Amino acid sequence: MSYVDEVMEKVKKRDGDQPEFIQAVTEVLNSLRPVIEKDEEKYRKMAILERITEPDRQIMFRVPWVDDNGQVQVNRGFRVQFNNAIGPYKGGLRLHPSVNLGIIKFLGFEQVFKNSLTTLPIGGGKGGSDFDPKGKSDREIMAFCQSFMTELCKYIGADVDVPAGDIGTGAREIGFMFGQYKRIRGMYEGVLTGKGLSYGGSLARTEATGYGLLYLTEEMVKCHGDKMEGKVIAVSGAGNVATYAIQKAQQLGAKVVTCSDSTGWIYDEDGIDVALLKEVKEVKRARLTEYAAARPSAKYFEKKDGEHGVWQYKVDIALPCATQNELDIEDAKMLVANGVKYVAEGANMPTTLDATEYFQKNNVPFVCGKASNAGGVATSALEMSQNSERLSWSFEEVDSKLKGIMVGIYHNIDDAAKEYGMEGNYVAGANIAGFKKVVDAMIAQGVC
Ligand code: NDP
Ligand code: 2IT
């Protein structure tokens, strides 16, 4: 049996109850076959694949907090420190009821390769909780965040592990967590990114993931002899990534006709009104029904099982920006039948494995999240640099560095795919390029 298959079997046996983690490992290890096969005995002897699929450590803890009725609530907190071969652990904190160890492990595993692709010195980690922020008061959110950080602060630090936002964790939550860290540890350091601008945050971090997705997409479109201007785009999600992806797409002359949340989606034939979307989602924290109520050109549809949602329309580009496995094989067939030309992931693993293969078989250029959504964590690393030198850079400076990084990632993954005879397979290119740097560092650092 090949070394890749051997390790795949081991991971399935050991972590078979973590389907998302198995899915992420399957995609990465399959892509690495040509690299591993070139020097199979060396990698096997060093147990590189066993080491890269097993986190350095997995921390799980109780998060007790008091709700507005005086009732004590208990959630489960997680931090998976996956790999720090190239820098301190770095990755977001997800607050969503679906969070469990397998979800955090898949996200941490992806983060290792993504962070490597940014070219910046950051290792991979992820954390979060099954806490549901929906419908909670600001006081309840603060109570949760303070309790969560009371335990988490033992394991993180500016040179150890630097968490950030993800689903359900935005500027408000980062602020509450930063305040609690500072209070308990008695030190002011850049232990979190995505901070407010008045206390060490970076300009352009809020926009970075969405903007970065579009910078990479624009470069891919250009390299296919095409242009962004006039393109019609379907975006899913209505959170941080989706909002700024829509904004940048429109600045580049494209029209985004959809967005969605967990209960339904919007089709807006005139193009999404970003100012209104921000008012509904960032200010009021309301449902998309409010967007439709305020905009005559928009239609709201309630989500039902088995429907294609935002993927049913005739668009040139699809940008899934909500959550894992939100674009399945049936959606992919529909998009391809409607002539989709490019797909790039804003979310982490939003496309199922068979849907990814379907796009590739039908020659639709497809970029996986670990490359196309790397702009968020890259800008987090730029926030870390600014914190270390105790300076703040201008929006233009951060944004231009972000653009340079995203254009660089596109060419890096394109070149890696070509080098291994898989031209146009950006999934393989991303996994191979991300893997090589981490593995060089692991080998140089000995058995650890
Ligand atoms: P937000 O919490 O800001 O927004 C998430 C959006 O996705 C919301 O519209 C939410 O709807 C929707 N959503 C969440 N879960 C589900 C679900 N189970 N089914 C359908 N819709 C869902 O998160 P972000 O925008 O930050 O994150 C979106 C994706 O991008 C995630 O995969 C995240 O890991 C990834 N990502 C984020 C980065 C960042 O910098 N923030 C960086 C790189 C990747 P609702 O409000 O109804 O829950
Ligand atoms: O998935 C991701 O890359 C993020 N949620 C951002 C992580 C970070 O540290 O900025």
pLDDT tens for each residue of 300-335: 999 988 899 999 999 999 999 999 999 999 999 999
pTM above 0.85, yes or no: yes
Residue 380 included in any domain: no
Is there a contact between 429 and 415 (Cβ–Cβ < 8 Å)? yes
User: What is the pLDDT at residue 432?
Assistant: 98
Query: Could you list the residue range(s) of the whole structural domain that residue 237 is in?
Result: 206-367
The Cα-based distances of 212 to 46, 76, 281 in angstroms read: 36, 32, 21
Q: How far apart are CA 168 and CA 225, in angstroms?
A: 38
Q: Are residues 244 and 307 in the same domain?
A: yes
pLDDT digits (tens, 9 = 90+) for 348-384: 999 999 999 999 999 999 999 999 999 999 999 999 9
Measured in Å, residue 88 CA sits from the centre of ligand 2 at: 14
Residue 239 included in any domain: yes
User: What is the pLDDT at residue 306?
Assistant: 83
Closest Cα to atom 40 of ligand 1: 376
Q: Are residues 185 and 247 in the same domain?
A: no
Q: Are residues 88 and 112 in the same domain?
A: yes
Residue 417 included in any domain: no
Q: Are residues 98 and 246 in the same domain?
A: no
| Nearest ligand for residue 321 CA | 1
User: What is the pLDDT at residue 305?
Assistant: 85
Residue 425 included in any domain: no
Catalytic residues: 126
Q: How far apart are CA 350 and CA 444, in angstroms?
A: 34
pLDDT exceeds 90 at position 152? yes
Q: Are residues 62 and 170 in the same domain?
A: yes
pLDDT digits (tens, 9 = 90+) for 85-110: 999 999 999 999 999 999 999 999 99
Q: List the CATH number of the domain containing 338.
A: 3.40.50.720
The Cα-based distances of 259 to 143, 274, 298 in angstroms read: 31, 11, 11
How many domains is the chain built from?
Answer: 2
Q: SS3 for 180? A: helix
Is there a contact between 79 and 155 (Cβ–Cβ < 8 Å)? yes
User: What is the pLDDT at residue 134?
Assistant: 95
- Pocket around ligand 2: residues whose beta carbon is below 6 Å from it? 90-92, 114, 164, 166, 193, 348, 376-377, 380
Q: Are residues 213 and 65 in the same domain?
A: no
Q: List the CATH number of the domain containing 160.
A: 3.40.50.10860
Q: Are residues 210 and 292 in the same domain?
A: yes
pLDDT digits (tens, 9 = 90+) for 193-236: 999 999 999 999 999 999 999 999 999 999 999 999 999 999 99
- Of the residues 367, 395, 418, the one at which a domain ends: 367
Q: How far apart are CA 442 and CA 22, in angstroms?
A: 22
Measured in Å, residue 346 CA sits from the centre of ligand 1 at: 9
Q: How far apart are CA 192 and CA 289, in angstroms?
A: 34
Bridge partners (DSSP) listed for residue 256: 233
Residue 184 included in any domain: yes
Q: Are residues 350 and 236 in the same domain?
A: yes
Q: Are residues 151 and 226 in the same domain?
A: no
